[in-house]
Amino acid sequence: MAAVNLNSFYHRPEANFSPSLWGDRFISYISDSKVTEKYSKTVEVLKNDVRSLLTAPETKMIETMNLIDTIERLGVAYHFQNEIEEKLQHYFHLNTNYHDDEAYDLYTVALHFRLFRQHGHPISSEIFGKWLDVEGKFQDDLQSDAKGLLSLYEASYLRTRGETILDDALAFTTATLKSMAPNLGSPLKEQVVHALVQPLHLGIPRVEARSFISVYEEKEQKNETLMKLAKIDYNLLQIIHKEELSEISRWDDGEITRLPEYMRPLYKAVLELYEQFEEELAGEGLSYAVYYATEALKELVRGYLVEAKWFIKGYLPLFDEYLNNGLITSTYHYLTTTSFLGMGSARKDDFEWLSKKPKMLVAALKICRLVDDAVSYEVEKERGQVTTGIDSYMRENGVTKEEAKAKFWEMSMDAWKDINEEYLKESCYIAKDILMKIFNLERVLDVVYKNNEDGYTHPQKVFEPLIIALLVDPINV
């Protein structure tokens, strides 16, 4: 049966994405084994020194929590996961009196709140009540405490639905820090300016680590051992990531005569990819994992087919109908499932949990779909796209384009609250590193679409500097 050339019947909208910025830079990379060995040995020595600091029995809670935060923000916490979790478990169950002890200022309380929630401990937001006035608003004298406000600002992004005090905290700290920033000294000024653009909780951890290393280096009271570990470990990981990228090779497209010509390379590449996955995972007793990834891919293709039919017919669905399919074509269910393939800790129960689309995943899919639609609306209209979420919402609710976009951003922030809430549920049996996959994929989205920039379509402005920092330029040691 001859393949049908759809292009002869329909005009297919073209994205016109930019060509690769990197060419064969990473494919041809060859590491220096002597440098790698030197870095590895140094890291092992420094790790032991930092571990001794972290586990010192005489250290007070406030000092240890500050150390944990610094370790995490410098990007080296993965070396000390057990020690950090043991400390946080212990401190969380102390039921500390944050209200009456003067040692617990706004900076400290907000930092503790953020750390506990980052690790899934459901500490109450009511601990911030001590800084409210009789009208329930944050006290005016806080406007002189930039360090405390920044800490509260970062903590507020871990809020859940119904936490009005944290909604108010975010609005209050954002407005106050914006007015204070020009008059602050370094490095606090740089921290505030960066945080107002990229909140820590929504940022890509490795990108944020690179940024914080520069900030921490300027601090007068920094720990030199920790500083050195952060720099060398960052460079070592950069080398490892470059080596992994260099192993990527092009597939031989071959001939698959029954498919339309434009589909053959994609089909061949995908088929070979999953065959390789299955072979490798079979040796680990994890061959079942490929089934879930391929099923997610099939669902994605079916979703694309629905969108294609809508486009051909010029059909604009109701918003709920659009969103139900749009959650699938956001690709994040497929990407999350596929990301589990390389995790030795991912069990069959984890794949099964994900396949049933739990609330945490649905919230993540909503963020992806809504943010993408809000940012890329004009570009998609230029391509001739008829069916967009913005158009559907505008027609159904009788609102303007600007109002629809604002609503999409509002719904995406509510979805972040759902993700935060699900992460805190004690009944959730899923391991935290599994849940963190969902977090980190969403963080990529936040960075890529920062300030209404479409980083996928125009990578030079958003992606290029991040890739250079992560995979090209090492840190001076």
Q: What tokens does 34 get?
A: 């002597």
Beta-carbon neighbour count of residue 184 at 10 Å?
17
Given 209, 242, 275, which residue is the final one in a domain? 242
Read off the CATH number of the domain in which 190 is found.
1.50.10.130
Q: For position 356, what pLDDT does the model report?
A: 94
Q: For position 253, what pLDDT does the model report?
A: 42
Contact 131, 142 (CB under 8 A): yes
100 occurs within a structural domain: yes
137 occurs within a structural domain: yes
Residues 41, 93 within the same domain:
yes
Q: For position 453, what pLDDT does the model report?
A: 82
Residues 197, 295 within the same domain:
no
Does pLDDT of 456 surpass 60? yes
Q: For position 2, what pLDDT does the model report?
A: 46
Residue 357 DSSP one-character state: -
CA angle 271, 274, 276 (to 5 degrees): 110
Q: For position 210, what pLDDT does the model report?
A: 97
Nearest to 92 by CA among 130, 119, 52: 119
Angle between helices 401-424 and 389-397 (to 10 degrees): 110
Comparing 165 with 260, the larger pLDDT belongs to: 165
Q: For position 23, what pLDDT does the model report?
A: 67
Nearest to 115 by CA among 165, 53, 66, 161: 66
- What letters, b where the CB count within 10 A reaches 16 and e where it falls short, cover 257-272? eeeeeeebeeebeeee
Lowest mean pLDDT among 87-101, 122-136, 417-431: 417-431
Does pLDDT of 457 surpass 70? yes
Residue 136 DSSP one-character state: S
| pLDDT, average across residues 198-203 | 97
Residues 235, 320 within the same domain:
no
Comparing 428 with 100, the larger pLDDT belongs to: 100
Which value, to the nearest 10 degrees, does the dihedral of the CA atoms of residues 22, 23, 24, 29 take?
-10
Residues 184, 329 within the same domain:
no
Nearest to 83 by CA among 129, 40, 37, 51: 51
Look at the chain and report how many structural domains it folds into.
2
Q: Three-state DSSP class for 383?
A: coil
275 occurs within a structural domain: no
Contact 158, 114 (CB under 8 A): yes
Comparing 333 with 452, the larger pLDDT belongs to: 333
Cα 87 vs. chain centroid, distance in angstroms?
A: 25
Q: For position 4, what pLDDT does the model report?
A: 47
Residues 175, 237 within the same domain:
yes
Q: For position 15, what pLDDT does the model report?
A: 61
Residue % of the chain over a pLDDT of 70: 88
249 occurs within a structural domain: no
Residue 79 DSSP one-character state: G
**Mean pLDDT over each residue of the chain, to the nearest integer:** 88
Beta-carbon neighbour count of residue 456 at 10 Å?
17
| pLDDT, average across residues 121-139 | 96
Read off the CATH number of the domain in which 404 is found.
1.10.600.10
Residues 166, 63 within the same domain:
yes
Residues 110, 238 within the same domain:
yes
| pLDDT single digits (tens) 433-445 | 889 999 999 999 9
| pLDDT, average across residues 270-278 | 72
Residues 6+ apart with CB under 8 A from 41: none
Does pLDDT of 325 surpass 90? yes
Residues 435, 308 within the same domain:
yes
What confidence category does residue 280 fall into, taking pLDDT thresholds of 50, 70 and 90? confident
Domain that holds residue 288: 284-472
| pLDDT, average across residues 346-350 | 89
Does pLDDT of 431 surpass 50? yes
273 occurs within a structural domain: no
| pLDDT single digits (tens) 208-218 | 999 999 999 99
Residues 218, 320 within the same domain:
no
- What letters, b where the CB count within 10 A reaches 16 and e where it falls short, cover 111-144? bbbbbbbbbbbebebebbeebeeeeeebeeebbe
468 occurs within a structural domain: yes
Winning range, highest mean pLDDT, from 255-259, 260-264, 462-466? 462-466
Q: For position 450, what pLDDT does the model report?
A: 86
Residues 114, 181 within the same domain:
yes
φ, ψ at 132 (rounded to 5°): -100, 145
Q: For position 460, what pLDDT does the model report?
A: 83
261 occurs within a structural domain: no
| pLDDT single digits (tens) 353-387 | 999 999 999 999 999 999 999 999 988 888 777 78
Given 242, 276, 292, which residue is the final one in a domain? 242
Q: For position 133, what pLDDT does the model report?
A: 96
440 occurs within a structural domain: yes
Does pLDDT of 52 surpass 80? yes
Does pLDDT of 260 surpass 80? no
Q: For position 248, what pLDDT does the model report?
A: 56
What confidence category does residue 33 fall into, taking pLDDT thresholds of 50, 70 and 90? confident
Residues 385, 289 within the same domain:
yes
Q: What tokens does 10 get?
A: 């329909």
Q: For position 14, what pLDDT does the model report?
A: 64
Residues 467, 351 within the same domain:
yes
Q: For position 255, what pLDDT does the model report?
A: 39
CA separation for the pair 305, 309 (Å, rounded): 6
* Helices and strands per DSSP (H, E), number in the chain: 19, 0
Lowest mean pLDDT among 11-25, 124-138, 410-424: 11-25
Contact 148, 110 (CB under 8 A): yes
Given 181, 213, 242, which residue is the final one in a domain? 242
